[in-house]
Amino acid sequence: MNTAISTNHRLWAYLQMMRPANIVTAWADVLAGFAISGCTLEIHWASLLWLLLSTTGLYGGGIVFNDIFDAEIDAVERPERPLPSGRASYQGAVLLASVLLSIGIFAAAKVSLLSGSIACGVAAAAILYDALGKHHKIFGPLNMGICRGGNLLLGVSVVSPMVMQNWFLALIPIVYIAAVTTISRGEVNGGNHSNGIVALAMLTSVIAGLLGLGLLNHDRLLAVLPFIVLLAARVLVPFIKATREPIPTNIRIAVLAGVLSLIVLDATVAASFAGLPYGLLVLSLLPISTVLAKMFAVT
């Protein structure tokens, strides 16, 4: 009995490292990209499933490697985490992260060579961020944003020519995640007003870009507006509060809101290209991610 409890305790620790709530937001990226591609679920459902499996592996592997590279820092700042607490082993974490990234690349390659190549790029960008990027004030947020932008293009790659046609749309999640990453820098010891101002400026540009996207597709504007309002309400308030008073608690709340609201961002993009019902489908991932966020750490 004790052995079974110990095994379950260890498995739970590895699951914690994968950040399940965040993985659900990565599914939303792929679903939004799928909407941009113009494909239909009825015909291309198999390819979509492969890409969802791919992003699960890529995000899960990338975030586990993040904990591996942060093990020494976490031993001081967050000793309760799986690695520094000893609930998960270093070797086990490396194996898990490597297997997950391999699954992510393999699953994407089942769709197309381009999808596999994008998955390789996302995996490389994730490891680069974990090892070096996060420590750089400017390149770090951009690096993290590129991971998310690549994830969106992974969904678009279900129709290869659409990637070249719509690559610029990856700028939306790139700038958004750069904003979240920028404000997250004070999550442990507190931040400064300048980080908050920069993050707010980037968020505002993203919301303006989403509005412009809706205006380009005139018949989708009414479908897109509710999502834009929801996104603004969810992220601007905590970001403004964290900017005014950049204490760790406010910053953590802003980061949590920013990460989970990626689903709202993706729902907005999806509605812009596939209409209200598809946008609502993507948005339905939000309560799932929110529940998981109460069970597992997001940052």
pLDDT of residue 259: 92
What is the mean pLDDT for each group of 10 consecutive residues in the chain (299 residues)? 60 92 96 92 89 97 94 86 91 96 97 97 95 84 92 96 94 93 72 84 93 77 90 94 89 92 96 92 96 86
Among 27, 34, 178, CA closest to 115: 34
CATH domain 10-295 topology: Tetracycline Repressor; domain 2 (1.10.357)
pLDDT of residue 6: 56
Whether the full predicted model's pTM is greater than 0.85, yes or no, is: yes
Sequence-ordered list of residues with C-beta below 8 angstroms from that of 167, at least 6 positions apart, any chain? 153
Q: What is the three-class DSSP state of 1?
A: coil
pLDDT of residue 212: 86
pLDDT of residue 186: 62
Query: Degrees (nearest 5) of the Cα angle 275, 281, 285?
Result: 140
Among 112, 150, 153, 108, CA closest to 129: 150
- Alpha-carbon distance 81 to 75, whole Å? 8
Q: What is the three-class DSSP state of 25?
A: helix
Residue 258 C-alpha from the chain's centroid:
10
- Report whether 3 contacts 240 (CB < 8 A): no
Residue the block writes with tokens 């890529």? 58
- Alpha-carbon distance 84 to 249, whole Å? 22
